[in-house]
Amino acid sequence: GQNIDQPTEMTATEGAIVQINCTYQTSGFNGLFWYQQHAGEAPTFLSYNVLDGLEEKGRFSSFLSRSKGYSYLLLKELQMKDSASYLCAVRDEPGNYQLIWGAGTKLIIKP
């Protein structure tokens, strides 16, 4: 079956660094997405990885290891506004518009 696992909830301190992990077991792989969703709002696109390695975008970085079925989202210099849920999603086949979604990780930032 298709499965994506993320921790349910994480807590971190303002100014610190946090790593949110995502592991996946899918029939195929053609890209992994991270989305941010603030409470009561729609998800917004953060990052996309299709090749192994680290993609950096400002304070946010995303890493992928296809052989391990593993990704993480790294958030640096945490700000209170980073409190949100972070959703991991996988496209399992090329040209497949549908994504397989994880349940999301709720990140709580404390001062």
Partner 1 sequence: GAGVSQSPSNKVTEKGKDVELRCDPISGHTALYWYRQSLGQGLEFLIYFQGNSAPDKSGLPSDRFSAERTGGSVSTLTIQRTQQEDSAVYLCASSLWGSSYNEQFFGPGTRLTVL
**Residue 102 binds partner 1 (CB under 8 A):** yes
**Residue 29 binds partner 1 (CB under 8 A):** no
**Residue 27 binds partner 1 (CB under 8 A):** no
Phi/psi region, residue 58 (left: phi>0; alpha: psi -120 to 50; beta: rest), is left
Counting residues that bind partner 1 (by CB under 8 A) gives 19
CB-CB neighbours of 57 under 10 Å? 9
How far, in Å, CA of 108 to CA of 60, rounded? 16
Q: Which of 48, 74, 83, 92 binds partner 1 (CB under 8 A)?
A: 48
Six token digits for residue 76 = 């640096």
Least separation in angstroms between residue 18's CB and partner 1 is 20
How far, in Å, CA of 21 to CA of 32, rounded? 12
**Residue 91 binds partner 1 (CB under 8 A):** yes
Least separation in angstroms between residue 36's CB and partner 1 is 11
CB-CB neighbours of 21 under 10 Å? 15
**Residue 103 binds partner 1 (CB under 8 A):** yes
> What are residue 33's DSSP bridge partners?
48, 89
Residues found near partner 1 in the complex (CB under 8 A): 31, 33, 41-45, 48, 87, 89, 91, 97-99, 101-104, 106
